[in-house]
């Protein structure tokens, strides 16, 4: 299998973005399906407490890995810009620096995640009846976190040069394997929630191995040679300058979501299960958003590297509007059919009621979620990663936490927590629109 690089500096903008985003969309769909399978299997064949446990740890995992994933984002911008410039020596050095960072991150995250999980679960006020299941799941997950990091590292390298198809192929294999192993470990071996965690890390390991097998064997400029894997000083600096703000943004957003989760936990296991199950469903709205955000980041980086400013602006406009339309379509669909979809996870009427209530609030605002994420993709591709970091830190973290804490102090109602996301999505989108039309965000430079 060969790499399938795509230079986006000439030709149809819409075709480039759609052809690049579509495999990422399919990959995201598969990933969401197999993550949802974990919850479906646990909710139907283990227990409500186990479903609540697996639902409660999603924000925690993103909190811990967010900073490290940001470095991959920064690396992707460095690689895509050099690729657009035609500077292949820079591409090679950036690729090997990215792999070295992935290895370092894997070691650090395994240690940090496994060690501090119990403390963080206590801080999140995880109820005693789900604590042991949550701890078991998350600690197994972190023992295999290196497979996830290295797959994301490899797919980030491939996507930076326009290859979004091979990561999809590897993800298909991983997704199917994860579903099969879920059923074998939980139904066949009776391993409970631990079985889903083992299924996840085994499937992720296969996708990481296949990705690096391609990078080791390809004839293209992104070929990885073990002897060349090290930190190249200049490229490390660029990656950190672009990646740390992205990582901070990911982490603080996830930190705010941990606060959201801890607030949900106050309302008991049924609320936890409803919140987590609905988030699995809502994840399908993130798929077109993520696909076009990644496509726009690569497109912007390559075209600014080639000094094609008009193409950048046209591509940004199309990608943002298209992602908003797709996301809102999903949001409206979930509002109409959320109750039926919730029955996939559980037959508990209270869990279903709370999930539908959350969907009836959030579903109107998916356009704002899409606008904020795709605008972030544009600015990251332009090397302006501090701008989205600042917006997300102030709105999605600080304001969201204040909204929840003050709101619950005044009205102890779970709907206060449900409204926190739509309100902050809308405010951040307004700020991004103002910045987009008033600032010269295409001026190159590291913020």
Q: Helix/strand/coil (H, E, C) string of 5-33? A: CCCCCCCCHHHHHHHHHHHHHHHHHHHHH
- Residue 355 CA from chain centroid, whole number: 22
Residue at 376 is within a domain: yes
Residue at 9 is within a domain: no
pLDDT above 90: residue 44: no
- What number is the average pLDDT over the span 182-208? 88
- Token couple for 204: 């992720």
Identify which of 357, 354, 362 has the alpha carbon closest to the alpha carbon of residue 272. Answer: 354
Domain of residue 228, residue span: 23-438
* pLDDT tens track for 379-400: 988 888 888 889 988 998 889 9
What is the pLDDT, as a whole number, of residue 213?
94
Residue 147, helix vs strand vs coil? helix
Q: What is the mean pLDDT of the chain?
A: 84
Q: State the burial class of residue 227 (Cβ atoms within 10 Å of its Cβ: 0-12, 13-18, 19+).
A: exposed
Residue at 134 is within a domain: yes
pLDDT above 60: residue 446: no
Residue at 218 is within a domain: yes
What's 395's DSSP letter?
A: I
- Token couple for 79: 């690689």
Q: Give Dmax (Cα) for the chain.
A: 62
CA–CA dist 313, 319 (Å, integer): 10
The per-residue DSSP string of 55-105 comes to HHTHHHHHHHHHHHHHHHHHHHHHHHHHHHHT-HHHHHHHHHHHHHHHHHH
Residue at 181 is within a domain: yes
pLDDT above 60: residue 331: yes
* Confidence band of 344 (pLDDT split at 50, 70, 90): confident
pLDDT above 60: residue 445: no
- Residue 105 CA from chain centroid, whole number: 17
Say whether pTM exceeds 0.75: no
CA–CA dist 55, 261 (Å, integer): 9
Min mean pLDDT across 40-49, 312-321, 322-331, 353-362 is at: 40-49
- What number is the average pLDDT over the span 91-116? 89
pLDDT above 80: residue 109: yes
CA–CA dist 421, 366 (Å, integer): 10
Tokens 């490290």 found at: 68
Cβ atoms within 10 Å of 127's Cβ, excluding its own: 17
Angle at 149 between CA 221 and CA 131, to 5 degrees: 170
* pLDDT tens track for 158-168: 888 888 888 88
What is the pLDDT, as a whole number, of residue 436?
92
What is the pLDDT, as a whole number, of residue 3?
66
pLDDT above 80: residue 367: yes
- What number is the average pLDDT over the span 140-144? 88
User: Taking each helix axis from N to C terminus, what angle separates 366-381 and 58-85, rounded to the nearest 10 degrees?
Assistant: 40
Tokens 């193409």 found at: 311
What is the pLDDT, as a whole number, of residue 4?
66
- Token couple for 117: 């999980």
What is the pLDDT, as a whole number, of residue 223?
93
What is the pLDDT, as a whole number, of residue 59?
63
CA–CA dist 139, 120 (Å, integer): 12
* Confidence band of 135 (pLDDT split at 50, 70, 90): confident
What is the pLDDT, as a whole number, of residue 321?
92
CA–CA dist 280, 179 (Å, integer): 15
Separation in Å, CA 112 to CA 74, 138, 435: 22, 12, 37
Min mean pLDDT across 55-59, 122-126, 133-137, 362-366 is at: 55-59
φ and ψ of 411, to 5 deg: -140, 100
Percent of the chain with pLDDT over 90: 23
What is the pLDDT, as a whole number, of residue 68?
66
CA–CA dist 409, 413 (Å, integer): 9
pLDDT above 70: residue 67: no
Residue at 331 is within a domain: yes
pLDDT above 70: residue 1: no
Cβ atoms within 10 Å of 9's Cβ, excluding its own: 18
- Token couple for 441: 């965000």
Residue at 443 is within a domain: no
Residue at 85 is within a domain: yes
Cβ-proximal residues to 368 (8 Å cutoff; 6+ apart), any chain: 422, 425, 426, 428, 429
CA–CA dist 437, 414 (Å, integer): 37
* Confidence band of 18 (pLDDT split at 50, 70, 90): confident
How many domains does the chain divide into?
1
């Amino acid at each position: 299998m060969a790499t399938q690089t795509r230079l986006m500096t000439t030709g149809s903008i819409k075709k480039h973005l759609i052809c690049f985003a579509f495999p990422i969309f399919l990959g995201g769909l598969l990933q969401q399906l197999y993550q949802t399978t974990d919850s479906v299997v646990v909710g139907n064949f283990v227990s409500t407490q186990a479903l609540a446990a697996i639902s409660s740890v999603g924000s925690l995992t993103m909190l811990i890995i967010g900073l490290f994933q940001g470095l991959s984002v920064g690396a992707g911008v460095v690689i895509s810009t050099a690729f657009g410039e035609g500077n292949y020596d820079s591409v090679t050095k950036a690729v090997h620096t990215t792999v070295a960072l992935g290895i370092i991150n894997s070691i650090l995250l395994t240690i940090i995640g496994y060690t501090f999980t119990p403390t963080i679960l206590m801080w999140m006020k995880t109820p005693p009846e789900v604590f042991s299941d949550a701890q078991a799941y998350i600690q197994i997950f972190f023992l295999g976190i290196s497979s996830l990091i290295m797959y994301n590292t490899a797919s980030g390298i491939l996507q930076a040069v326009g290859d979004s198809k091979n990561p999809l192929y590897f993800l298909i294999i991983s997704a199917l394997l994860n579903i099969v192993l879920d059923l074998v470990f939980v139904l066949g071996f009776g391993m409970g929630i631990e079985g889903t965690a083992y299924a996840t890390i085994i499937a992720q390991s296969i996708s990481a191995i296949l990705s690096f097998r391609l990078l080791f064997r390809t004839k293209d400029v992104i070929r990885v040679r073990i002897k060349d894997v090290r930190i190249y000083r200049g490229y490390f600096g660029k990656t950190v300058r672009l990646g740390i703000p992205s990582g901070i943004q990911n982490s603080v957003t996830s930190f705010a979501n941990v606060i959201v989760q801890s607030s949900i936990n106050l309302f008991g296991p049924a609320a936890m299960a409803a919140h987590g199950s609905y988030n699995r469903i809502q994840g399908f709205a993130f798929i077109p958003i993520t696909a076009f955000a990644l496509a726009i980041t690569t497109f912007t980086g390559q075209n600014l590297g080639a000094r094609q400013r008009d193409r950048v602006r046209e591509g940004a406009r199309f990608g943002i509007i298209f992602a908003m339309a797709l996301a809102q379509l999903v949001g409206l669909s979930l509002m109409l059919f959320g109750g039926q979809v919730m029955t996939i996870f559980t037959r508990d009427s209270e869990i279903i009621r709370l999930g539908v209530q959350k969907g009836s609030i959030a579903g109107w605002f998916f356009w704002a979620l899409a606008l904020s994420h795709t605008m972030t993709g544009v600015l990251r591709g332009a090397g302006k990663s501090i701008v989205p970091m600042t917006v997300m830190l102030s709105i999605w973290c600080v304001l969201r936490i204040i909204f929840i804490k003050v709101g619950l102090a005044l009205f102890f109602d779970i709907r206060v927590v449900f409204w926190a996301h739509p309100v902050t999505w809308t405010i951040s989108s307004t700020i991004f629109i103002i910045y987009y039309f008033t600032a010269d965000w295409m001026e190159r430079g590291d913020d």
